[in-house]
Structure 1
Amino acid sequence: MTVSKSIAITGASGQLGRMIVADVLRLAPEAHVIGVVRNPGAARDLSDRGIELRAAHYEDAASVAAAFAGADKVLLISSSEAKQRTRLHRHVIDAAKAVGVELLAYTSILHADANPMALAVEHRETEALIRSSGLPFVFLRNGWYTENHTAGLAAALRRGTILGAAGDGRVSAAARADFAAASAVVLASDADQAGSVYELAGDSAYTLTELAAEIARQSGRPIVYKDLSEADYKAALQADGLPEEFAALYAESDVKAAQGALLDGRQQLSALIGRPTTTMAQSVAAALALVPSIAWRAS
């Protein structure tokens, strides 16, 4: 199932990256795992687990090439810098090609080739760059994290509403840990993954109305979904502290979700990880457990 390889994981100290590192260590304990991070000093917990940390920044192509030295496989976790991703990803792709890696895996977005969301544009461009590089590649087209919806749970409990602009659109979301597990399976596998494109999404889909109902059920508090226009939802996100650029992306993504942009019923994610994906109800329970300062439990 697994081989002894040198695996470089970019963004290893991020939320997704840390999960992937942990899963790779579990699936391929014999592998040499390289954590490519901006600040190794802030990721000493990873080095304590036997991860070799190498400093690099997507902005600095030379540092990325040095970090990839000796790597057989590379996972490019998409940059979080909106409107800069394509340029930054080019540096990583060029570095992987210069080193001659056996496989470049990339965390893309669900249905990247046809997804109408503005968020998909740079993923589509990055995929094109990878294809044109000639490198053996795998595209891990990740759907929506359920955490994208549950991260604002404390605010929702305070105001009694879930805000959005998705209408009755259904979203095939899964937990971040599910997508991390998929990346780890691909990286740890000895199968020939070159050219594989995985459309990764949750086993079941839900609307934001259904999400609100589940939160109400588990918390015992009255929570409803309030559907807003794209402009009003963007303003609400900004009022909650999200920078304008990201607020605009999330609001536009909700509108496109209403049109089915985040819906997928193929269940490739659960097939890849060998278990059902985390349900929305399970994610709500996990999120509620992290809000101890809110007296949400039913009396």
Structure 2
Amino acid sequence: MRLLLLACLRAQTGNATTAARIRNHLHAAGHICVLKDAFMYESPAEIAHLTSSDKFDAALAIHLYKGGRLLQGSRIPFGIIFGGTDVNEDIKCKEKRQVMGAVLERARFAVAFTVEMKELAAAEWPDARKKIYVQSQGIKTTPSETFDWYTFLQNAAIPAGSGPVHLFLLVCGLRRVKDPLYLVEAFSEWHRKDPSVHLGIIGPAAMDLEVPVLARNIPGNAAIIKHRETGLLFSTPQEFVVLSKSLMNDPVLEKEIVTRAKEYVEQHHSWEGERKTYQSLVQRLQ
């Protein structure tokens, strides 16, 4: 099949990496999957013209509202992949909620990344429950993706050999709403008191790299991280500092968190499992 995949493709965001990964899965099954940035289109009429002129057989969209709204009235079958914004933010807006409901009604299937995401959607649109499948995002790390700590320390001008260094890496390259500077003020104050702690802002990474994860306690993070088991969740910058200190002073806790997080990723975020799911679901679009 020739498939159109609509997503918000801003560089280094979760949408862009997820879309690229799904395209890879579908290409491996022999389909042609063309990525298009949803931000480049304003109306369903534009997408209807695109699917007709470029002879697409079916379509997928990431985000029920941002991408799915463009498939309203589509003449080709389509499936939808929920984004966290759909069920945590856009659902609060009456106009967006109506659009999302109409899109979900037409969709052949929908994919939620977590059980919690599915339940939130099913509570709002109970008739769609049976068409919503849960598939966690797949993670596949390779040696080339491991972090070069020595080069990072050199580039950041962090002196080596001057005692223990505690480096906290903030995964960034995200939308403004993700607030990459949320911790800076509190961390700067901590650094002034303890120069051994450093905050690095980097690109994408995963719990699969065997480093303990501290994440802000918001629905999307809390759905995949269990506090003090597979990571640590904080609600304020000050709580981040407190939890970080406890982690630094408790190597047993650090080891337990890393071990359980690695096991969680292997069990629930299988790259191979994700590939099989999407290759199977697109058959519903034929």
TM, length-normalised to structure 1: 0.38
Structure holding more helix per residue: 2
Flag the structure with larger Rg. Answer: 2
TM, length-normalised to structure 2: 0.39
